[in-house]
Amino acid sequence: MKMIRWTYIVFISFFILACSTDTTEQGSTADPQASQQNFNWKMVTTWPANFPVFQEGAERFADMVNEMSNGRLSIQVYAGGELVPALQSFDAVSQGTIEMGHGAAYYWSGKVPAAQFLAAVPFGMTAKGVETWIYHGGGLELWRELYAPFNLVPIPMGNTGVQAGGWFNKKINSVEDLGGLRMRIPGLGGNVLKKAGGNPVLMSGSEIYTALERGVLDATEWVGPYHDLRLGLNRAANYYYFPGWHEPGTELELIVNSNAWAQLPDDLKAIVNNAAQATSLWMYTNMEFNNAEALKQLKTMQNVEILEFPPEVLAQLKTIAEQVMEEEAATDPEFKRVYKHYKAFKENYVNWTSISDESYQNALK
């Protein structure tokens, strides 16, 4: 009995030690004084002020971290343009003038083309598959490797789910109708549009309505019914297309300056990671709920036609998307490495979803 008791004590001791060790982080903080230090950080986002779910989620995250850390890590959140321009947040955090940022990796495609796989892939995986790849399929490790040269630590924080196809000032009956179309669309989706003959434009959310309403843009994608209504895009264009082939499960990111991250004690790092995961769940479910409610409103508006892209248009865009990624992979080794990894995971994952999600959805028809 004495031997059993000591064995039990040793087992519990090892269990407690294991639980107190953060195996998901890059490095640890050995300085015991750091655990008593208070940190006051700034976070900049790519979202407009008061923007629901996204900016709201960033602010909820900051409040959660403050509460969980008992005030040891205080984060002041600034919307796009309040402290730095929305699309310069990557540089501000990379340079260390700001400790944190929130946005989406495809905004930095000019700096890190391969990181677009950690945001949205045309005809790629939905949120469930993306999250599975990131957390369990090696996606997060690739993400960290891509951002390390920029002095950044990426942390997943949010997913939009399947987005809408966008608002158009004319009907899209064929791929030829995309020719010459000036459309706000970022990332790989923009590259696909360009190869299809369109003119992709990268533009922050605060500029979209005015550009569409004044004819600077012929079309725009934004997020989904909830955010599109809040931005008033239904007043600037009449044709609303589904599905969002370009963004089937857009992942959002928290980026942290790596020097600032290294100064945090392990318990605060764990708080940041867990608060980010909790925020991710809140953001995704909030999107799903509010999009469903907003779609009911859109269906009552006489000036709005809700349309599905013709099957032949989607088929041609899918072919073009594959060509775009193969061409990029042929010239960029990092892009090729991540593309190969993503593609292999997706092919294996589809084997499961074909007999789970898809099979069930077919049963409901």
pLDDT digits (tens, 9 = 90+) for 326-336: 999 999 999 99
pLDDT of residue 31: 54
Query: CA 124, CA 83: separation in Å to the nearest integer?
Result: 34
pLDDT bracket for residue 32 (50, 70, 90)? low
Give the model's pLDDT for residue 241: 98
For the beta carbon of residue 162, count every other beta carbon within 10 angstroms. 19
β pairing state of 239-242 and 166-168: antiparallel
Q: Which pair of structure tokens corresponds to residue 150?
A: 């920029």
Q: Tens digits of per-residue pLDDT, 278-308? A: 999 999 999 999 999 999 999 999 999 999 9
Averaged pLDDT, 48-72: 97
d(CA 144, CA 152): 8
Confidence of residue 205 (pLDDT cuts 50, 70, 90): confident
State the burial class of residue 74 (Cβ atoms within 10 Å of its Cβ: 0-12, 13-18, 19+).
middle
Apex CA 348: angle with CA 344 and CA 353, to 5°?
135
Which tens digits make up the pLDDT trace of 147-178?
999 999 999 999 999 999 999 999 999 999 99
Q: Which burial class, exposed, middle or buried, applies to 158 when counting CB atoms under 10 A from its CB (0-12, 13-18, 19+)?
A: buried
Which tokens belong to 47?
């979202």
pLDDT category of residue 35 using cuts at 50, 70 and 90: low
pTM: 0.87
